[in-house]
Amino acid sequence: MSHKHLLKVIILGDNFVGKTSLANRYVLKTFTGLYKATIGVDFSSMKIIVNSRVITMQLWDTAGQERWHSLGNAFYRGTDCCVLVFDVTNPQSFENLQMWYAEFLILANPRNRENFPFVVLGNKVDLENRRVSKQQAEQWCEVKHIPYFETSAKDGLNVKQAFLELAEKATQQMEEDLVTPDFPDVIKLDQKSDKRKKCNCN
């Protein structure tokens, strides 16, 4: 456990879906029913162990208000993994997942878009007035190959499990990126050089 890594985790979703409550539940293990709008972005961090490594997850809890979208480019830069959140009692927040997903890929411009670590959280399953079914959410996530968790920031349901799976996926992706060369293969140039060296000029 001598190696340490920092994972930048951005949490996206509409206003009122519970992004801050989920972050507080995971990091502080607390919940409050009082709502306070996030202004710009809030930070919190959590140290966990993944594959015998100490990982510091730095959570970027972003505002869901439209007026903060112009700041997204700076927020998204350097992100290692992304949490998409919707409220199961609010169908519009589920429909807007596509917007948040697409916006992130454009602004963050991750190196490996196809395998970038996402997770989707359907929050507030503790409430009775549910309007987005588990099947609907799973179908959306299945198309994009994104893990889906039904969560409750109030009860703590699946919150720890969701963030742990995200950290595992992000750590695996980082390790794969380390062994993937960024430069083109230069074997052909070496082969030409070898042929010149072997030339017999009698």
Q: What is the pLDDT of residues 102-158, one digit of tens each?
A: 999 998 999 889 899 999 999 999 999 999 999 999 999 999 999 999 999 999 999
pLDDT at residue 97 greater than cutoff 90:
yes
pTM above 0.85, yes or no: no
The conformation of residue 115, written as its DSSP 8-state character, comes to: T
Which one-letter amino acid corresponds to residue 170? A
Ranking 23-32, 63-72, 92-101 by mean pLDDT, the lowest is 63-72
Q: Look at residue 192 and tell me whether its pLDDT is greater than 80.
A: no
Contacts by residues 94-99 (CB-CB < 8 Å, ≥ 24 positions apart): 94/122, 94/132, 94/136, 94/137, 94/140, 96/13, 96/14, 97/13, 97/140
Q: Has residue 86 got a pLDDT over 60?
A: yes
Architecture of the structural domain at 4-197: 3-Layer(aba) Sandwich (3.40)
Q: Which helix (H) or strand (E) holds 53?
A: strand 53-62
pLDDT given at position 148: 98
CB-count exposure of residue 76 (10 Å: 0-12, 13-18, 19+): buried
